[in-house]
Structure 1
Amino acid sequence: MYVGEDVMDWTGVLARRMGRMKASEIRELLKLLDQPDILSFAGGIPDATLFPTAAYERAMGEALQNPAALQYSVSEGYGPLRAWVADHMISLGVPCGPENIIITSGSQQALDYLGKLLLTPRDTALVGWPTYLGALGAFNACEPRYAPLDPWRNVAPNEMQAEAEAAGGKVKMAYLSPDFANPTGETLDASGRARLLDQARALDIAVIEDGAYQALRYNGEAIPSLQAMDVAEVGGIEASRVIYCGSFSKVLAPGLRVGWVCAASPVIERLVLLKQAADLHSPTLNQIATDRVARELFDTHVAKLRQVYSARRDAMLDALDRHMPEGVTWTRPEGGMFVWVTLPERMDAAEVLAQSLSSERVAFVPGGAFHADGSGRNTLRLSFSCASEAQIAEGMERLGRLLRVQ
């Protein structure tokens, strides 16, 4: 192999945006799942033993009888699936039609497209502190400035815009997961949602609602989505500033990468242009199969997931109550897959993780990765979706034992 002075130096030709692209701590931690002695509460992924495998096996076979399943297709997505999604959104209080839906390769692709659609370098994106790591990863390529999204933050809209303009751009969008958020598991109440929408109207910005976990409610009263609230206020989907990102990943099967966006038709039309330029269309076979499975068992399967995951959530909260030392606090989610833990300020969760992997063989995600400014070093995320109740009890006992000697 030749190695000389004329070897290509790739750093000299990379785009500036690559300086903000970092490896996902979660994706790296998922590699630990291959180590059988690790008790992992790191990956925010669904339990593979609960996938509707038999239904997908039938659906794939039936889909392959359709010649269109292996052919190029329209960028908007498979028509019957878009119609199912539109009906689903109607059931959530959002009157809309297939023209308001585009199928994406998971909601992660939707976030990537929406960042490109809305953000120019130095524009301001309002995000939670903490917020979903994947959203930061998607938006980082657009080189935005981040500012805290807090409906109770008493900052006048003109002050927020002045700060954004001083940074060289405008406030363009707010991003949040209002139901059982990743990473905190927290839910924004109805008054907070109304206040946030009022702020968005005053700023005249788009709101990206990440609904990945909305179906996974285990207790408490359901709260209308931001999009449903906005549509009711402004009179229809075409006047709404809320862009809803949905996904089949958490409730059916993530490996097929099928998600969607529901929004006003001018937004969908521009997202279609982005998809045409990126990957032409999501895999047609996967869309046809997902349409068949969703029509067959979506509601009954979601009910099954709620029963299993709620028991695991309860097991984790009970184990935390029993084993965590004084000074450690955590959220008590009504749904989703996550519990957010706050350690005493003197502790660094990344350092605790290194010790935990070495001595206790327990994995979790340090919280700093979920903060746009790298703060939150004394926080961590636990996922209960893929562990048995016995594993949860054992894992929390081990983690509590480690934290007591910090």
Structure 2
Amino acid sequence: MDWSQVFATRMGRMKASEIRELLKLLDQPDIISFAGGIPDPALFPADAFARAFADAMRPGEAGVALQYSVSEGYKPLREWIAARMAGLGVPCGVDNILITSGSQQALDYLGKLMLSPGDTALVTSPTYLGALGAFNAYEPRYARLDPMRNAEPAALAAEAADAGSAIKFAYLSADFANPTGETLSRAGREALLDRAAALDIAVIEDAAYQELRYDGTPVPPILALDVARSGGIENTRTIYCGSFSKTLAPGLRVGWVCAAREVIGRLVLMKQAADLHSATLNQIATNHVARAEFDAHVARIKAVYAGRRDRMLAALSREMPAGVEFTRPEGGMFVWLTLDPAIDAAELLARAVRDERVAFVPGGAFFADGSGRNTLRLSFSCASDAQIDEGIARLGRLLRQS
């Protein structure tokens, strides 16, 4: 059978994730990999989860954990999240929270909710590759989002209209962004809300790394600033996507959306149609662990990751040749490098793996317009001090030869 004749046109926009493919390199023990932006499994609270799963499976409890549940998510966990959001400056109730299978599912649902073919999404350049993958299925056009230096709203709207399009939302990761590690200032967040109001569009705030601040001054979430402006969450235009993947464990696939009830209600309908609800057992276990030791556990992993970040920044300062620029993140898992414009990072990766046995993620995949070929992303989350020192030395040697 010629399957291409029955595939939807959207499949032409869907490509394999370069990051997921690069993760296969982790199975080669002689490669020093800075490619996977994943938590260190040695830091997972495995004992706490073992106790939580055991408690959930006790006689009298297992029937709830193994049964179908409501699409909105396990209520005690939503209550914990709502209290957490209130502490971030977002007073809300359980009806403002939807549990998703990781924040990646939230991005997919939001693309489905707001994008018709040809609609415009404003995204940073670069932006999270997974967001582009989620939105691509709904066949949008992209325009560049630069919160501090963007075009005037009227010009953005006119550009979209000339393309027969309407702008639906602005998407960004405001804290320790994947891939750059950069954080948007409070002034930038306020400017973004001003622009979104002028365009009357939504703002999707990807907060996957928000808890991983190692130094510097915390900045309120965009949703918190929106609540302060509008007088309450039901009046906001910001949709907050949170996750336990970077703090507790990614394999359980537990994330959430916090937004006005009108938005949550629509997303619940999508959840019902897609997978009914996220795994109840995983939600119960996550609730147990979050309530028992979330803050203490996050403090532990932050201490480790901060040390690895410092080690990588010191190695980059020591090993990078003149002309290489890199970010200095206050948190998260990533450092972003900008190379000489003549260097193609994808070609550099092939040489790096072959000649130096070191891996990273080429930056071009993070740009909706295919630019950024001279950039790359390094992750420090799973590398030891010795691996960081040796791997960055290898990368510097390779760049000096380029």
CA distance in 2, matches of 1:153, 1:343: 23
Tell me by how many angstroms 1:154 deviates.
4.6
Residue 324 of structure 1 aligns with which residue?
A: 320
- Report Cα offsets for 1:341-376 as digits up to 9, x if no partner: 000000000000000000100000000000001100
Whether 2:18 is the aligned partner of 1:25: answer yes
Residue 118 of structure 1 aligns with which residue?
A: 114
Which amino acid in 2 is paired with 1:64?
Answer: M
Query: Which deviates more from structure 2 when the two are superposed, residues 321-330 or residues 145-154?
Result: 145-154
Residue 148 of structure 1 aligns with which residue?
A: 144
Residue 176 of structure 2 aligns with which residue?
A: 180
CA distance in 2, matches of 1:40, 1:277: 39
- Report Cα offsets for 1:150-201 as digits up to 9, x if no partner: 1223522122112112222200000000000000000000111110110000
Whether 2:275 is the aligned partner of 1:288: answer no
CA distance in 2, matches of 1:76, 1:254: 20
CA distance in 1, matches of 2:82, 2:159: 38
Q: What aligned pairs does 1:94-243 form with structure 2 within 5 A after superposition? A: 94-243=90-239
Residue 250 of structure 2 aligns with which residue?
A: 254
Q: How many residues end up aligned between the 2 structures?
A: 399
Pairing partner for 1:75 from 32, 50, 71: 71
The residue matched to 1:201 in structure 2 has which SS?
helix
Unaligned runs of 5+ in 1: 1-7
Residue 7 of structure 2 aligns with which residue?
A: 14
Whether 2:39 is the aligned partner of 1:41: answer no
CA distance in 1, matches of 2:307, 2:162: 49
Query: Which deviates more from structure 2 when the two are superposed, residues 65-74 or residues 176-185?
Result: 65-74
Backbone CA RMSD of aligned residues: 0.6
CA distance in 2, matches of 1:192, 1:258: 29
The change in CA–CA distance for 1:200 and 1:167 in structure 2 (over 3 A counts) is same
- Report Cα offsets for 1:70-89 as digits up to 9, x if no partner: 01110000000000000010
The residue matched to 1:42 in structure 2 has which SS?
coil
CA distance in 2, matches of 1:219, 1:160: 35
The residue matched to 1:332 in structure 2 has which SS?
coil
Residue 4 of structure 1 aligns with which residue?
A: none
CA distance in 2, matches of 1:331, 1:151: 18
CA distance in 2, matches of 1:156, 1:337: 33
TM-score (norm 1): 0.98
Which amino acid in 2 is paired with 1:238?
Answer: E
Unaligned runs of 5+ in 2: none
CA distance in 1, matches of 2:148, 2:316: 29
Which amino acid in 1 is paired with 2:327?
Answer: T
Whether 2:265 is the aligned partner of 1:272: answer no
The change in CA–CA distance for 1:270 and 1:154 in structure 2 (over 3 A counts) is closer
Q: What aligned pairs does 1:49-60 form with structure 2 within 5 A after superposition? A: 49-60=42-53
The residue matched to 1:58 in structure 2 has which SS?
helix
Residue 3 of structure 1 aligns with which residue?
A: none
Residue 352 of structure 2 aligns with which residue?
A: 356
The residue matched to 1:146 in structure 2 has which SS?
strand
Residue 382 of structure 2 aligns with which residue?
A: 386
CA distance in 1, matches of 2:235, 2:265: 15
* Percent sequence identity over aligned pairs: 71
- Report Cα offsets for 1:279-330 as digits up to 9, x if no partner: 0000000000000000001000000011000000000000000000011110
TM-score (norm 2): 0.99
The change in CA–CA distance for 1:303 and 1:154 in structure 2 (over 3 A counts) is closer
The residue matched to 1:358 in structure 2 has which SS?
helix
Which amino acid in 2 is paired with 1:94?
Answer: V
The residue matched to 2:251 in structure 1 has which SS?
helix
Which amino acid in 2 is paired with 1:284?
Answer: T
CA distance in 2, matches of 1:166, 1:143: 17
- Report Cα offsets for 1:24-47 as digits up to 9, x if no partner: 000000001010001000000000
Which amino acid in 1 is paired with 2:21?
Answer: E
